[in-house]
Structure 1
Amino acid sequence: MAIISQLYATLADLAELGPPFSIIAMKTEAERLRALRAGSADVALYLRKRHTLPLAVLMEEVTPSGLASGSAEASGDPEEAFDAWVRVSTGGAVSGGATAVQVSNDGGYTWGTARTLPSSGAITVGPMTITFSGTLAVNDSVRVRAGVDYSLRQAAVAIAAYKLVYNRGVDPESRDGQELRTLYEDAIATARAIGEDEGRLEGSADATPALDEAGPRWTAHANPWDFVTGGYIGDDT
């Protein structure tokens, strides 16, 4: 299925790089996804000036935890940013068909209802197939992530957060509102700079590397909500 507007950041990115989860949790998952897609589309408007879209989506990590007597593998080809954390809620031998897992799309802040694993151990999560084998224990888990250039992910999160809560739960005149506005403006400036050749994407982030479009990664803070003062949105101390 073709992606009309490529997603540059996930619900987990919004939870981990955006405002405190208590703020964004006021919005439904569907509202958060719409904001992320809108933020990604805003970034793409500037990238189109110099880059051929869609951007390449690279597998970042398949991170198991626990799984002392079991294993997990992931396969698939995501066309946009992806993050799923799958944990075991009912343990046992996978071949018995009685084990169950839960999926989190927001970095472990919330978890879906339990899904029984078939005896094959394979479940589909978005564009990925995750296959468990062996014997699983409760809270064994695996996290699968794929994404675009990190600077674009940060920009999409900042724009999405602004669209999501600015004047819709956060007072524009408050410190939080002013910080949201500043980060939104910084994100637009980053996208504009990349689109106008003042900043460049990491080479592997471009879906058309044969064209001379890419270069060193354009990256800001590890967390764009980490300010010089060390404070975060919601922290007035």
Structure 2
Amino acid sequence: MFSILLLLIPTISAKATVKKTVVGVSSAFIERSGSTTLSVFISSDEKIAGGSFDILYNPEQLRINASDVKMTDTLSEYLSVGGSDASGKISISFAKASGSVIDGTVMEVKATVLSAGYGNINNLILENTELYDEQGKRITTQLINGQIKPFVGKESTHPNAVTVDKPWLITVSKPYNPATLNTSAVTLKRGSTDFPIELEVVNDRQFRVKPIGSYIRSTYTLEITDQLRSINGAKLNEPVRLKFKVN
């Protein structure tokens, strides 16, 4: 099993405790121009009865219309509303009488990089984030902002063709926060199309990436972004991109 070592940058003035609840926007790598779909996710082991938050972006660099924002079934049990005002803000709010554990994508956002954003880092910033439990108590939340940017990181190619069920063992230099281990931080693509994967916690410094089903003959790219965080909020030293072939 091929192992990838990831280095996490230490942070200052952060407590070394696992954040139980994470709200984030996925990142995407675009070299110059084009469109991409981002995921807005909540990962928590607490029962959440409601909440709201905004995502701010630069409308001079990104185009996100009202029709580009879709709620997912993750909040189907909640009364929810979400959308973009097309002028720099996406909003979402949701509530219900009893709380539930939320762990998944709550919204998908199609963003188009405009000419002003070519080759730049385009930020999607979470603000006004409030989540509450059944008693109306505010839940402590770690925020992970998203970016659309060119890939600048460690690239490698696996030297040999792999089997149709090949798993990948990932090792990090510091204990990672399992709430940030999701398919926004770790993706697999067959060409330019997402390929379904399962992420398995091995221990506090390792996790396994496995295909759901079998690979077919093609070239694949495994990407790990800096949205995977250590237990004290440290980011990856650099994103990782691994290419491999299945014959």
Q: TM-score range by the shorter chain?
A: under 0.3
Of Structure 1 and Structure 2, the greater helix share is in 1
Is the radius of gyration larger for structure 1 or structure 2?
1
Of Structure 1 and Structure 2, the greater strand share is in 2
